[in-house]
Structure 1
Amino acid sequence: MNKPIWFPSEAYTRGSHIEALLQHFGLDGYEALYRLSIEETERFWQATLELLDLRWSVPYERVLDLSQGPQWPNWFVGGRLNLAQNALRHAEERPNEPALLWEGEDGAVRQLTYQELEVAVAQAAHALRALGVGKGDRVGLFLPMLPETAVAALAVARIGAIFVPIFSGYAPEAAATRLQDAEACLLIAADGFLRRGGRVALLENARAAARLSPSVKQLLVVRRFGDVPLASGEVAWDELVPAQPKEAPYLPVESMEPFMLIYTSGTTGRPKGTVHYHAGFPLKAAQDMAHLFDLRKGETLFWFTDMGWMMGPWAILGALTLGARVLLYEGAPDYPDAGRLWALCARHGVTHLGLSPTLVRALMPLGDAPVQEHDLSRLRVLGSTGEPWNLEPYLWFFHTVGRGRLPIINYSGGTEVGGGILGCTVWRPIKPMGFNTAAPGIHAEVLDASGRPVRGEVGELAVLKPWPGQTKGFWNAPERYLSTYWGRFENVWVHGDWALLDEEGHWFIQGRSDDTLKVAGKRVGPAEYESAAVEHPAVKEAAAIGVPHEVKGEVAVVFVVLRPGYLEGPELAQAIAETIAARLGKALKPERVLFVSDLPKTRNAKVMRRVIRAAYLGQNPGDLSALENPQAVEAIRQVGL
């Protein structure tokens, strides 16, 4: 399907952030605005920050300094600010409006107004100082999605320290790897959280991780349950923080001063600590939410994620900076029943809902009724990120959840980007599974093997100019950063995704370039195989990998999870293979179709193809700490024998 299914209307364009920019520049259309954003970079960012009402303790003297090259841009030269002040400044004008909403899996609900959040962050900032944390110190956040998680992150930034978010599902060794690399001095952890009705004993893992990390001197414990005795030297959040003064200064820091190290899992070797700064990631998050998602003051964003993934800090910092509210949820999306996620949205008046394609695929088999039974009339925008779509779940999200009237803002970028490279704007028609624009301010292209821009064919997704939010290298590993993103073409960021840009200006991600198959001399994205596979009625979800072949060079192997009621067998495997061949062509028919009960996924439901490929070939799969279901890896090893 290559025709748009959603079209702009005044309901979306009138009063939008993009409309304000168009009026500011005196432009008559989105295309002209995007061109200005990449041709007149400094003018665009100056206007954007003015319209978003960013606060500076010391105004910047110059938007951009590239004297060290595009790999190391210096943004907003001479300026000083604090991201926590920008996130909480709305307490001045709208102190009693909700800023932070939280719901636990057990139904517990908490709400903090902007004023209450400001006070909580001030008290937490004093508590951190009382524990000896100072400017530039690293603080680990080993926390689920709790109100204290947002408070802790903002408090760390408020005093000029650096927080290190750690996925709440990590084993001690994985958490310790990040704490050790960052040389964190303090670890903030919860005593546990709920997941599918069970209690996850997070504090046990936190203690073990701290023991493995010599730099960690203290453990600050958020007592979600309060019935776990604290060990000697451990400090209770609920005893220390509320006793502190209710006012605290914001430490003005230089624009490029780091506030967060967030780690990404590498294919091999240790995880990469991406460095993000006060005038980067938070501004990029707010700008993307404004220009792509059009999140407005007083609206409510809910993105199903964890603080250990980029989208956790992105949701909190971006939404609060725009004066919106952010909803955090602790548990599983379908517990205790299939309607939990939709009830959550209805109960809290969610206007912007973000889900990964894999999560949508998991929710689809639960049926339409759980969605239709809840009042989702407040929903205005749907969002997705993490991986390429298949057509069926995309259309289900659009028609069943969005009632055929809401735009799906497809969003693709990454931790190192600080937000999106590609997205959608409500000012252009939207094609299924695609992106109708590069993010304003991002000069993106699709490049062929020689580095030339191409249209209508698959190539490397690249960015030709720097942007705020671009990571300030990898922590203590600048050469690794340069080789990862800048080693292919001179002064060009190559992101590692295969993409296609059609003649109408719509983009399509074809998968990671290291995931891409080359079958019969043609490069094929794994998403193409997977979309074709799920057209067979027996297939719930699929993952495709390329494996070496003595004669053909490379062939496709497709792993399939079946829908209930279907039985594995050679005839069904053959039928699925034929379905794929009918869609892609006989030359691209997969060599094997293998049945598994589950695919290796991260907590935010991203399928890990590189893990599947390594396990199938009997190779070292690299860092598995991000997986929610590591048992799936062993099952793939067995079918590969």
Structure 2
Amino acid sequence: MTDMNDTTPYIWTPPSELAAASNLTAFLRATGQSDYDELASRAEADPAWLMQEVFKFCDVRFYRDYDQVLDVSSGQAWARWCVGGTTNIVLNCLDKHRDTAVWDQTFLVWEGEDKRERRSLTYREFDLEVGRLAQGLHEIGIGRSDVVAIYMPNLPETLVAFFAILKLGAIVMPLFSGFGPAPIQARLNHGEAKAVVTADGTWRRGTSGPLKSVLDMALEASPTVKHVIVARRGSLAIDTPMRKDRDLWWDDAIAGKGGMIETAEMQAEDPAILLYTSGTSGEPKGCVWNHIGFIGSMVTRDTIICGDFKSTDRFFFFSDMGWMVGSMCACVPSFAGGSLLVVEGTPDYPDTGRFWRLIAEHRVTYLGVSPTIVRGLMRYGLEVESYDLSSLRMTASGGEAWTTAPWLWFFEQVCKKKIPIINMSGGTEVGGCIFTGTPNHPMNPGSFARPALGVGADIVDQAGQRVPDGTVGELVLRHSSIGLTKSLWKADARYIESYWSTLPGLWVHGDFAMRGLDGLYYILGRSDDTIKIAGKRTGPSELEGILIATGKLAEAAVFGIPHPVKGSAIVCACVPMPGVMGDRSLENQLSLAIVAGMGPSYRPEMVLFVDDLPRTRNMKIMRRVLRAVFEDKDPGDLSALANPEAVDMLREKLAAK
């Protein structure tokens, strides 16, 4: 079942047996719809109907059923879902499995940077640890609506803390484990966090790194934080001073606790997760996910139904808890009764084949990747062929737009031209997908099968009118959906200004998109990254794809600077492949490749070779930062950068150019 014209050329077309066995096909049967497009049409006309069907199909649990599925009486920006209903993420991800066959199955498998360090927890064992920590948090005064931050590396305790906080009805604030004191402090103060759960330290590339001491510096001016729970990473020799009356070792917090504590019954739209995303200027934006919103969107509608995650799957997405995928890793497999692989460190250390070994040894069936991870692993050649990846059943991708070369490499070398790439795109503010892939639809490089169900996605011009197929436009949402952030934390006016005011009545997401002539959908980069050459708007990903296709570069970022004649001139910031010299000869090759692919008007003003590109913790390249540094302007909020040193190195390169 592909819903597509069979004469259209595709790189991959779903085998009939795969589509027949998919969760999406089962959902179509359950709802009485003939195909995805018919289902999507009904969902757009009646989003409340869709969500009722999702709840029923996926067995979403409520303590008290809702009185009204959807209330838009205050406008789309302030839509309310499951009015009168009560639930909890923990009810749906852990409690419902109690006294079932799932309870004694493996939920979490963990491997440290040293592969000899491994741990495994069944659902029963994991739930016990969640209950014990919840009791410990309750004992120090944590309860409903308190904000509790998690500043931890990838440990089993990180997932335990996530669910323990939610179990009490408190709000989880995930923080990137690579943050320094300043961004931690900004978020703790803005969110008015009452407590932080952290670890003494972690291993990264063979070096032990402190976390608690970094947090201590942030807490020098974070007056709302009254408690810090510190997990021992083990095998570390890090001095960890503890402040009396504030700091408590994890082991002491759970000592003597039996784990029996009730899960808090919360209103369906009570805040559950406060996740910050960086703004182009000013302070970071606090996105608010509620209990029913995240379960109803990313977990069930997007990943289980459209993404085909099954209870027999083992999920692995190399992600820090500070990115939205961290919450996805916690909730998707646990909701479905599947299992999760959690890994400390980086994909290519202590050896460059580590990522592939993890998949092979732990028999991963559902693999998530970002294009950045794939580009990083491509530089090591075809060592992937040395590993048995036969356990893989499905792959998924997200975080940024693909370019053709890494997509094809991943499809050919990892998917073996047989397994689909469920491409997903949404965002922290959306709490789920806007576009998605499915196992029922064909693929082309970087494509999405369809808009996600019931989200109101459209592609429009500057007047808000739908653009024809093959035309690039602004990605918008025509109505609210269940996963959208509930305003911004303490910033209602900023919420309306940021998303609902550019084109009145429409949510403007900030991405350029296109429905291709092949009937598939494409994200073409951030609309504020647009380059206008001789009157023609061009997304940077198109140009970056040409550069990467030369085989000379590991990474490329293209951005525009003002030009008196062309409107914009092109600058290319490039990271050469290992062993490739970033010299004048390579500069000329890359410039000629752009001209050959796009025409003489697109000849770069400058090709700059750098060791790294500024990127966020979820590995998105920050082109606005590159552009601002090049123009010697304020780059805005940099607190979400995973590698702030890349900005200083860029300034040095420009000074020497």
Same fold (TM over 0.5): yes
Match of residue 91 from structure 1: 98
Residues 613, 229 of structure 1: alpha-carbon distance in 2 compared, 3 angstrom cutoff: closer
Say which is worse superposed, 346-355 or 236-245, in terms of deviation: 236-245
Match of residue 632 from structure 1: 646
Say which is worse superposed, 73-82 or 204-213, in terms of deviation: 204-213
Report the identity percentage: 40
Match of residue 15 from structure 2: 9
Amino acid at match of 2:55: L
Say which SS state the counterpart of residue 615 (structure 1) adopts: helix
Match of residue 618 from structure 2: 604
Unaligned runs of 5+ in 2: 1-7
Say which is worse superposed, 2-11 or 378-387, in terms of deviation: 2-11
Match of residue 221 from structure 1: 230
Say which SS state the counterpart of residue 572 (structure 1) adopts: helix
Say which SS state the counterpart of residue 404 (structure 1) adopts: coil
Match of residue 100 from structure 1: 108
Match of residue 533 from structure 1: 547
Aligned length: 639
Residues 51, 537 of structure 1: alpha-carbon distance in 2 compared, 3 angstrom cutoff: closer
Q: Are the counterparts in 2 of residues 4 and 432 from structure 1 also a CA contact under 8 Å?
A: no
Residue 43 of structure 1 deviates from its aligned partner by 1.4
Residue 474 of structure 1 deviates from its aligned partner by 0.7
Residues 191, 628 of structure 1: alpha-carbon distance in 2 compared, 3 angstrom cutoff: same
Amino acid at match of 1:545: F
Match of residue 256 from structure 2: 243
Alignment of 1:191-340 (within 5 A): 191-225=200-234, 228-231=239-242, 232-233=244-245, 234-287=247-300, 288-340=302-354
Residue 239 of structure 1 deviates from its aligned partner by 2.3
- 135, 145, 155: which one aligns with 1:136: 145
Q: Are the counterparts in 2 of residues 284 and 469 from structure 1 also a CA contact under 8 Å?
A: yes
Q: Are the counterparts in 1 of residues 151 and 174 from structure 2 also a CA contact under 8 Å?
A: yes
Q: Are the counterparts in 2 of residues 618 and 637 from structure 1 also a CA contact under 8 Å?
A: no
Match of residue 438 from structure 1: 451
Residue 403 of structure 1 deviates from its aligned partner by 1.0
Q: Are the counterparts in 2 of residues 516 and 523 from structure 1 also a CA contact under 8 Å?
A: yes
Say which is worse superposed, 568-577 or 350-359, in terms of deviation: 568-577
Give the distance between the partners of 1:527 and 1:229, measured in 2 at CA.
Answer: 45
- 418, 422, 428: which one aligns with 1:405: 418
Residue 242 of structure 1 deviates from its aligned partner by 4.5
Give the distance between the partners of 1:312 and 1:406, measured in 2 at CA.
Answer: 24
Give the distance between the partners of 1:129 and 1:301, measured in 2 at CA.
Answer: 31
Say which SS state the counterpart of residue 51 (structure 1) adopts: helix
Given the alignment of the two structures, is residue 394 of structure 1 paired with residue 407 of structure 2, yes or no?
yes
Say which is worse superposed, 8-17 or 300-309, in terms of deviation: 8-17
Q: Are the counterparts in 2 of residues 289 and 319 from structure 1 also a CA contact under 8 Å?
A: no
Match of residue 81 from structure 1: 87
- 500, 515, 522: which one aligns with 2:529: 515
Give the TM-score of the pair, scaled to structure 2: 0.95
Residue 230 of structure 1 deviates from its aligned partner by 4.5
Amino acid at match of 2:138: R
Map Cα deviations across residues 182-229 of structure 1 (whole Å, 9 max, x no partner): 111111111011111111101111111222200001111011127544
CA RMSD of aligned residues (A): 1.5
Match of residue 64 from structure 1: 70
Give the distance between the partners of 1:504 and 1:68, measured in 2 at CA.
Answer: 39
Q: Are the counterparts in 2 of residues 510 and 525 from structure 1 also a CA contact under 8 Å?
A: yes
Say which SS state the counterpart of residue 548 (structure 1) adopts: strand
Match of residue 357 from structure 2: 343
Q: Are the counterparts in 1 of residues 230 and 249 from structure 2 also a CA contact under 8 Å?
A: yes
Amino acid at match of 2:419: L
Residue 292 of structure 1 deviates from its aligned partner by 2.6
Residue 23 of structure 1 deviates from its aligned partner by 1.1
Given the alignment of the two structures, is residue 53 of structure 1 paired with residue 52 of structure 2, yes or no?
no
Give the distance between the partners of 2:230 and 2:345, measured in 1 at CA.
Answer: 20
Match of residue 112 from structure 1: 121
Match of residue 622 from structure 1: 636
Map Cα deviations across residues 453-484 of structure 1 (whole Å, 9 max, x no partner): 11221110011121111000111011111111
Unaligned runs of 5+ in 1: none
Give the distance between the partners of 1:229 and 1:515, measured in 2 at CA.
Answer: 43
Say which is worse superposed, 177-186 or 554-563, in terms of deviation: 554-563
Q: Are the counterparts in 1 of residues 200 and 240 from structure 2 also a CA contact under 8 Å?
A: no
Q: Are the counterparts in 1 of residues 322 and 617 from structure 2 also a CA contact under 8 Å?
A: no
Residue 380 of structure 1 deviates from its aligned partner by 1.0
Given the alignment of the two structures, is residue 373 of structure 1 paired with residue 386 of structure 2, yes or no?
yes
Say which SS state the counterpart of residue 34 (structure 1) adopts: helix
Match of residue 484 from structure 2: 470
Say which SS state the counterpart of residue 499 (structure 1) adopts: strand
Match of residue 123 from structure 1: 132
Map Cα deviations across residues 423-454 of structure 1 (whole Å, 9 max, x no partner): 10111111111111111222211000110011
Amino acid at match of 2:26: A
Given the alignment of the two structures, is residue 172 of structure 1 paired with residue 181 of structure 2, yes or no?
yes
Q: Are the counterparts in 1 of residues 229 and 253 from structure 2 also a CA contact under 8 Å?
A: no
Amino acid at match of 1:428: H
Give the distance between the partners of 1:580 and 1:160, measured in 2 at CA.
Answer: 54
Give runs of ≥4 in structure 1 deviating > 6 Å.
Answer: none
Amino acid at match of 1:416: E
Q: Are the counterparts in 1 of residues 51 and 296 from structure 2 also a CA contact under 8 Å?
A: no
Give the distance between the partners of 2:125 and 2:19, measured in 1 at CA.
Answer: 33
Give the distance between the partners of 1:83 and 1:630, measured in 2 at CA.
Answer: 35
Say which SS state the counterpart of residue 379 (structure 2) adopts: helix
Residue 358 of structure 1 deviates from its aligned partner by 1.3
Residue 283 of structure 1 deviates from its aligned partner by 2.4
